Amino acid sequence: MDKIRVVGGKALTGSIPISGAKNAALPLMIASLLTDETLTLENLPRLRDVQLLFQILSNHGVDHSIQGKRNGQDEMSGQTVDLSARAIVDTTAPYELVSRMRASFWVIGPLLARMGEARVSLPGGCAIGTRPVDFFIQGLKALGAEIDIERGYAVARAPAGGLIGNRVVFPKVSVGATHTIMMAAALARGETVIENAAREPEVADVARCLVAMGARIEGAGTSTIHIEGVPRLGGARHRVLPDRIETGTYAMAVAMAGGDVVLEGASADLLEAPLETLRQAGAEIDVLNHGIRVRRNGHGIHAVSITTEPYPGFPTDLQAQLMALMTRAKGTSTITETIFENRFMHVQELARLGADIHLDGQTATINGVSTLKGAPVMATDLRASVSLVIAGLAAEGETEVHRVYHLDRGFERLEDKLTRCGAEIERISA
């Protein structure tokens, strides 16, 4: 099993290209099920989750082809992929595939809307707490679907004539449920109103793609989304927006290691709360026409405290990275996690590097230390794994991060991007 070796103490200088957003890429790929025409996605990241979703969609009959590399294109640029679901050959998403990635459960919406039926395994994914699919099921039932849970599968059937628009109110904000109901409602008869919808930029990006395919959607990116169903959707060409979580991760890596790095293609508008937190911590952030410049000189890191919240608040997907940064801050900081109940599994691993962190329920108190020291550590989930890399960049000596397959789910060529900025980091294959 691969591991990543980091030797700390190297400042980061140069530029890092920001990949397309994983959290938009996956639902955009799933949207290909809604039409029998070709959906072309540009800037699609090369990730393990993307490759797995290709397999899942192929099981339903979706063909994909990766367009050739253009002359002068950076080797780290996103890929352009054609997805064609001319004929849906199977409306079952089996356990052996869905259990490996939670987002694959979202196929239930497009399959139900287009084919009138779907049989989808209940999902798996990162072990960061329960993330029930109740909201998905309640939302689809509001659109007229009959859904039963049978032997670990959600078995759904649309009424004769297809799904019917309705008012859907989520009791709690859910990005996945918002994606799923929005896609299903695009082909429903009549108007659907989603209330307490997720406001994440990725939701708005998927809506823009659906509109390009012929959907009628207003309000995506706000808490209320209006969808007027249409009989069919066509093909489209859409560019995946830049990954705000990858952007924030590398920004925190620069704040941790010191240096001066331009995050090429990043959009500051997508992560205002994390960038403001970094400014408070002592990093200099400049918004450029082509990205974001992050700098930190020899001055220390200031302690800051945050609470994770749905967008536009501080994202849970950057909580572990900020905690790694705060281990070296001057003073005491607190991080309160409100989104997932089991997302502090990286605390024990950071402690192996010398971090001083205390947990009280969903709040972590971090007392900054003057020195971290390299040690073997174990990745427990996607975001926790990259927090250990960030800590390793500033630790004395060598840090080995094990079980890095988690990293490949959400970060495209992380070690290559950091190496080109001067980090001493390498992947070691077992």
CB atoms within 10 A of CB 206: 28
Q: What is the pLDDT of residues 15-60, one digit of tens each?
A: 999 999 999 999 999 999 999 999 999 999 999 999 999 999 999 9
pLDDT beyond 70 at 380: yes
Q: Are 185 and 142 in contact (CB under 8 A)?
A: no
Fold entry, domain 24-239: UDP-n-acetylglucosamine1-carboxyvinyl-transferase; Chain (3.65.10)
- Judge whether 102 is annotated as a binding position: yes
Mean pLDDT of the chain: 94
pLDDT on residue 123: 81
Closest CA to 338 of 307, 364, 369: 307
What local confidence, expressed as pLDDT, does residue 69 receive? 58
Query: Is residue 131 predicted with pLDDT exceeding 70?
Result: no
Residue 342 assigned to a binding site: no
pLDDT-based confidence at residue 8 (cuts at 50, 70, 90): very high
Phi/psi of residue 130, nearest 5 degrees = -70, 135
pLDDT (tens digit per residue) in 137-192: 999 999 999 999 999 899 999 999 999 999 999 999 999 999 999 999 999 999 99
Give 367's strand partners.
332, 356
Do the annotations mark residue 173 as ligand-binding? yes
Catalytic residue among 33, 52, 126, 257: 126
Per-residue model confidence (pLDDT) at position 124: 55
Cβ(381)–Cβ(128) under 8 Å?
Answer: yes
Does 421 participate in catalysis according to the annotation?
no
The answer to the question of whether 317 is labelled as a binding residue is yes
For residues 278 and 283, what is the distance between their CA atoms, to the nearest angstrom? 6
Q: Which run of H or E residues covers position 204?
A: helix 201-212
Is 24-239 the same fold as 3-15+243-428? yes
The reply to whether 417 sits in an annotated binding site is no
Phi-psi region of 190 (alpha: psi -120 to 50; beta: other; left: phi over 0): left
Flag whether 387 is marked binding.
no
pLDDT, average across residues 292-299: 89
Query: Would you put residue 208 in left (φ > 0), alpha (ψ -120 to 50) or beta?
Result: alpha
- Residue 23 annotated as part of some ligand binding site: yes
CA distances to 41, 45, 50, 209 from 80, rounded to whole Å, are: 6, 9, 13, 15
Phi, then psi, of 184 in degrees rounded to 5: -65, -40
Sequence-ordered list of residues with C-beta below 8 angstroms from that of 131, at least 6 positions apart, any chain = 102, 125, 176, 340
Spans of all domains in the chain: 3-15+243-428, 24-239
Q: How confident is the model at residue 74 (pLDDT cuts 50, 70, 90)?
A: low
- The superfamily CATH assigns to domain 3-15+243-428 is Enolpyruvate transferase domain (3.65.10.10)
Do 103 and 174 form a contact (C-beta atoms < 8 A)? Answer: no
